[in-house]
Amino acid sequence: MRRSLLLLIAAAALAGCAATPVQPWQRGRLARWDMRWDPDPLRAATDAHTYFSKEGTTGAIGAAGGGCGCN
């Protein structure tokens, strides 16, 4: 009985985690300019170009994009 109860509580806790992620329509703040990893895209592109040239690692710092998850 006790084991069943523990299992149920664990399952309920798991379902709770499933409800936590920010939903697609709640990403307005994440999409704000000041939430970007690189607020200035031109500066970021120039820095990346320099980095790739020095290290020979094109694309190694990741793909472009903001936090809104659009597309």
Partner 1 sequence: MTRIALTLALLFAATASAVEPGAPAPGFHLPTFDSGPPVSLADFRGKVVLVDFWASWCSPCRQSLPLYGKLRDNYAAADFAIIAIGLDEDVADGKAFLAEHPIAYTTLQNPQGDIAKAFDLKGMPSSYLVDRDGIVRARHVGFTPADIDVLKKEIDGLVAKHAP
Task: Give the footprint of partner 1 on this chain (CB under 8 A).
Answer: 4, 7-8, 11-12, 14-15, 18-19, 23-28, 31-32, 68-71
Look-up of token digits 């409800």: 19
Query: Do residues 68 and 31 make contact, with C-beta atoms less than 8 angstroms apart?
Result: yes
- DSSP3 helix / strand / coil % (the chain, rounded to 5): 55, 0, 45
Q: Cβ 36 to partner 1, closest distance in Å?
A: 12
Q: Cβ 14 to partner 1, closest distance in Å?
A: 8
Q: Cβ 22 to partner 1, closest distance in Å?
A: 11
